[in-house]
């Protein structure tokens, strides 16, 4: 949620920034400013009435002690009128604050200066590449056929047990999943991220805190009886560790990593591009989350991008990094870099990570602050990234390293899997 003071102080800059998202926010921002002005005017009048009522209360007591009952009675009548006014103003304030909150919740984060305008993924910028995309024969097997041939992933069994988008990993396929999770976690902890194991379900306040609610409500699985949401990413519970927390400036940054299964309804996803592991309703992912000082967040974003790039290089996967345009960014993001790996059999790029800086957008919702050297409470910046999501990494490893009989695994995984190839 945008900071109200920033909207007051930087109205035109925010309106211009939101145009990068193809959002004409002029009228909406003006509504926010008008609602805020009403709120402040009501608050001022309410405070004045309360002060006057308190003052009258003291005067009435003094007059009664002095036996001046008629004068006290006149003030008591005025006090009653003030109490009625206070009640009405309190109701008006509550209603105006709710209107203001609802308006603020409709406004996405303002893109950072480096983010370019754009309407879709076609307008994203390629900012780096590594490796040469492998070229395979036209009859090269896609990963779902390789998985079937080697009997390591059973998509049909998942459909039987649950439904489409819930694969069953078997044998060396299951061992590969576990090996990747452990390798990713070890890679992250060696870089200074503290490993945590968060819950896989969150309450509504947590979904609101990181911006999934109300924006992505339709994409989340919901348990109505318990009023809990299955997490779409570890970002949600881990970042919410810091909800309503005040840190000390010297503690920053906080760097955490977590493995969780992730659950996404992915409503409306159909077609060949979502076959196999390309898009699932349940998948495994290792996440990195950073709580930062505002003046360090973009340097830390660059560090996180290089961290994920190094992880992909260690797996020998050809990748490219895209800086998303305004129209393709998530609701809460100020800047996002996507990592895509080359799928040789499908002859297409597959997204395996997003690394984002949310600036103070999430922290404002979370009331996540730090106390600076002057004793002031200031909002932190929050960042997160996939390090990494497993399904498309596995898809690329299978397709790019299959020789027709076996899949040769990257050397960094050998000690984790206990084998060098899947056959």
Q: Please give the backbone phi and psi of residue 366, each rounded to the nearest 5 degrees, phi first.
A: -80, -15
Torsion angle defined by CA atoms of residues 93, 96, 101 and 102, in that order, rounded to the nearest 10 degrees: 150
CA–CA dist 220, 214 (Å, integer): 10
- Is 384 annotated among the ligand-binding residues? yes
Burial 141-152 (b: 16+ CB within 10 A, else e): bbbbebbeebeb
CA–CA dist 75, 57 (Å, integer): 8
- Mark out the alpha helices in 225-296 (DSSP H runs): 235-240
- Is 354 annotated among the ligand-binding residues? yes
Q: At what angle do helices 26-65 and 11-19 cross, to 10 degrees?
A: 140
- Is 357 annotated among the ligand-binding residues? no
> Alpha carbon 163 to chain centroid distance?
27
Per the CB < 8 A criterion, the answer to whether 388 and 371 are in contact is no
Residue whose entry in the numeric block shows the structure tokens 């090996």:
179
- Is 34 annotated among the ligand-binding residues? no
- Is 145 annotated among the ligand-binding residues? no
Q: Please give the backbone phi and psi of residue 124, each rounded to the nearest 5 degrees, phi first.
A: -70, 150
- Is 44 annotated among the ligand-binding residues? no
Q: For 265-371, list the strands marked E by DSSP.
A: 282-292, 319-323, 335-343, 348-357, 369-371
Residues 6+ apart with CB under 8 A from 75: 56, 59, 60, 63
- Is 206 annotated among the ligand-binding residues? no
Per the CB < 8 A criterion, the answer to whether 297 and 359 are in contact is yes
CA-closest candidate to residue 277, choices 175, 399, 123, 382: 399
CA–CA dist 381, 33 (Å, integer): 24
CA–CA dist 149, 146 (Å, integer): 5
Q: Would you list which residues are annotated within the binding site for L-serine?
A: 233, 264, 287, 384
User: Per the annotation, where are the binding residues for ATP?
Assistant: 264-266, 351-354
Point out the annotated binding site: 233, 264-266, 287, 351-354, 384
């Amino acid at each position: 949620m945008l900071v109200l003071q920033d909207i007051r102080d930087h109205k035109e800059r925010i309106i211009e920034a939101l145009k990068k998202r193809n959002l004409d926010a002029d009228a909406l921002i003006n509504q926010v400013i008008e609602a805020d002005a009403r709120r402040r005017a009501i608050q001022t009048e309410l405070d004045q009435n309360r002060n006057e009522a308190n003052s009258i209360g003291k005067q009435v007591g003094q007059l009664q002690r002095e036996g001046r009952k008629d004068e006290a009675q006149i003030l008591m009548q005025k006090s009653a009128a003030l109490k009625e006014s206070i009640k009405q103003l309190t109701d008006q304030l509550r209603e105006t604050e709710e209107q203001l909150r609802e308006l603020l919740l409709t406004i996405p984060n303002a893109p950072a200066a480096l983010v370019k305008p754009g309407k879709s993924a076609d307008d994203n910028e390629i900012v780096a590449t590594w490796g040469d995309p492998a070229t395979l024969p036209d009859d090269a097997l896609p990963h779902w056929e390789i998985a079937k041939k080697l009997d390591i992933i059973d998509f049909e069994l998942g459909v039987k047990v649950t439904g489409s988008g819930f694969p069953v990993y078997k044998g060396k396929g299951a061992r590969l999943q576990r090996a990747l999770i452990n390798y990713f976690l070890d890679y992250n902890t060696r870089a200074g991220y503290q490993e945590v194991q968060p819950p896989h379900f969150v309450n509504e306040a947590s979904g609101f805190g990181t911006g999934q609610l109300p924006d992505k409500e339709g994409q989340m699985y919901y348990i109505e009886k318990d009023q809990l949401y299955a997490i779409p990413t570890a970002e949600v519970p881990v970042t919410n560790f810091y909800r309503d927390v005040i840190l000390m400036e010297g503690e920053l940054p906080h760097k955490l990593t977590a493995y969780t299964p992730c659950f996404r309804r992915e409503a409306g996803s159909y077609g060949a591009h979502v076959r196999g592991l390309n898009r699932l309703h349940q998948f495994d992912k290792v996440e990195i989350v950073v709580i930062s000082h505002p003046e360090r967040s973009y340097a830390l974003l660059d560090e996180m991008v290089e961290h994920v790039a190094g992880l992909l290089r260690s797996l020998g996967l050809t990748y490219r990094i895209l800086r998303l345009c305004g129209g393709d960014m998530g609701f809460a993001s100020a800047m996002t870099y996507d990592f895509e790996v080359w799928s040789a059999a499908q002859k297409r790029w597959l997204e395996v990570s997003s690394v984002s800086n949310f600036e103070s957008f999430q922290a404002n919702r979370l009331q996540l602050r730090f106390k600076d050297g002057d004793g002031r409470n200031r909002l932190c910046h929050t960042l997160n990234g996939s390090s990494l999501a497993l399904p498309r990494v596995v898809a690329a490893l299978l397709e790019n390293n299959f020789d027709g009989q076996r899949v040769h695994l990257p050397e960094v995984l050998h000690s984790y899997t206990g084998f060098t190839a899947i056959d």
